[in-house]
């Protein structure tokens, strides 16, 4: 439901921007507020995403430009993905691996 509300708001603001009633800065600010929250990824979820797209740990590491040992640590629970890596996992999960390659 949250996604549909965010899409509706974004669409309305874009229409208002096209008609000149909302400036570009306001439109971008509102669009940024509608960006979905990035979830935390458990080791099981990371393995699931990787296997869904038939990637080895080394292949996932290569796509993210990180070391394979980092992916191994995520999957063992010794480390958690943060920042850009967390966002990239979110993008892969929502839009597929094609969004990154």
pTM: 0.66
Say if CB 51 and CB 33 are below 8 A apart. Answer: no
**Does residue 53 carry a pLDDT above 90?**
yes
> Quick one: pLDDT at residue 33?
80
**Does residue 2 carry a pLDDT above 80?**
no
Residue 1 vs residues 14, 39, 49: alpha-carbon distances, Å:
20, 17, 24
Q: Residue 90 class from Cβ within 10 Å (0-12 exposed, 13-18 middle, 19+ buried)?
A: middle
For 76, the token pair is: 């063992």
């Amino acid at each position: 439901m949250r996604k549909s509300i965010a899409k509706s708001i974004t669409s309305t603001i874009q229409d208002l921007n096209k008609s000149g009633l909302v400036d570009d800065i306001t439109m971008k600010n509102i669009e940024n507020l509608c960006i979905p929250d990035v979830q935390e990824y458990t080791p099981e979820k990371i393995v699931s995403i990787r296997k869904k797209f038939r990637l080895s740990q080394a292949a996932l590491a290569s796509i993210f430009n990180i070391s394979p040992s980092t992916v191994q640590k995520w999957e063992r629970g010794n480390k958690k993905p943060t920042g850009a890596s967390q966002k990239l996992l979110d993008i892969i999960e929502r839009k597929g691996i094609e969004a990154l390659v």
